[in-house]
Amino acid sequence: MAETELDRTHAVMEAWAEDGAARLGFYHALADTQLFLLLTAEAAGDDITPQTYDVDGVPHALAFDTEDRLAEFTGAAAPYAAVPGRILAGMLAGAGAGLGLNLGVAPSSILLPPEALGWLHETLGQGGAAEGGARPDALTPPGNVPQPVLTALDAKLARAGGLASHACLAGTRYLGGEAGHLLVFIGAVPRAEAALTRAVSEALTFSGVEAGTLDVGFAAPGSVLAERIERVGLRFDLPQGEAPEPRAAPGSDPEKPPKLR
């Protein structure tokens, strides 16, 4: 079976057990992965009941990062819901439950206690970038941006296909002398601003370094801001194509998470 992103990041975390950045990489992948949550019965509307097993008196739901792995674990057809890892973490932590991930069917097999899921949920909600309302007084080529931040941004934006044409990162100075960095998305599709800002925030959070000030802005193609930042900024091209439409299955729309029963 092909290696998944969770397999890869879990192996790095195991090899570098004392490396905080390696742990962040695994949890970042977990948040971004669509998980297949084993249920006791077919979903009733938006209500789902996870199959759980007690570990030291604590219930743990079971989820897998591919449908094939879920089928290998159950050995037969079984009800499930597809839930983004970021959503599932908050649901289970709120219910005081842990997560058994890929148990017995993958190298990324791991038990995650409620505390770990609660930390992930809280970390995802903290944010790390703000959509700046101030207009930059000057734009310059980006400087002193740590490589882990650039790598995290590149990886995160590569998964935001169809939400914008491209983004440019530049150094900036605002009126009053405050300096920092500005990432501008150019040609963003309608209502994509929140998702793109969240993606940048998470890239900073999980990069494992202090990135300093990074604001997020949006510009139309050919606008004054777009032309200014394109001249000096570092460009990130987003994969093109239509953004996927949310599926009707419970858990497939991050804005409407299913309810645990």
Final residue in a domain of this structure, among 81, 111, 126: 126
Could you tell me if 136 and 201 lie in one domain?
yes
Query: Phi and psi (nearest 5°) for 146?
Result: -55, 140
Could you tell me if 156 and 97 lie in one domain?
no
- Predicted pLDDT of residue 212: 57
CATH code: domain of residue 203: 3.30.300
Could you tell me if 138 and 108 lie in one domain?
no
Q: How far apart are CA 95 and CA 98, in angstroms?
A: 9
- pLDDT tens column, 1-48: 689 999 999 999 998 877 777 888 899 899 989 999 999 998 877 788
- pLDDT tens column, 86-132: 899 999 998 999 999 999 999 999 999 999 999 998 888 755 454 44
Residue 254 lies in a domain: no
Could you tell me if 118 and 146 lie in one domain?
no
Final residue in a domain of this structure, among 78, 100, 126: 126
Residue 12 lies in a domain: yes
Nearest to 129 by CA among 93, 182, 171: 182
Q: How far apart are CA 60 and CA 29, in angstroms?
A: 20
Could you tell me if 144 and 121 lie in one domain?
no
Residue 120 lies in a domain: yes
Final residue in a domain of this structure, among 76, 98, 126: 126
Could you tell me if 138 and 225 lie in one domain?
yes
- Predicted pLDDT of residue 219: 92
Average pLDDT over residues 235-256: 63
Could you tell me if 39 and 90 lie in one domain?
yes
Residue 156 lies in a domain: yes
Q: How many domains does the chain have?
A: 2
Average pLDDT over residues 54-64: 95
Range of the domain at 231: 130-237
Give, as one character, the DSSP assignment of residue 38: E
Q: Which two tokens stand for residue 240?
A: 């093109």
Could you tell me if 73 and 172 lie in one domain?
no
- pLDDT tens column, 162-185: 999 999 999 988 766 778 889 999
Q: Which two tokens stand for residue 2?
A: 């092909």
Is the distance from CB of 168 to CB of 141 less than 8 angstroms? no
Could you tell me if 136 and 199 lie in one domain?
yes
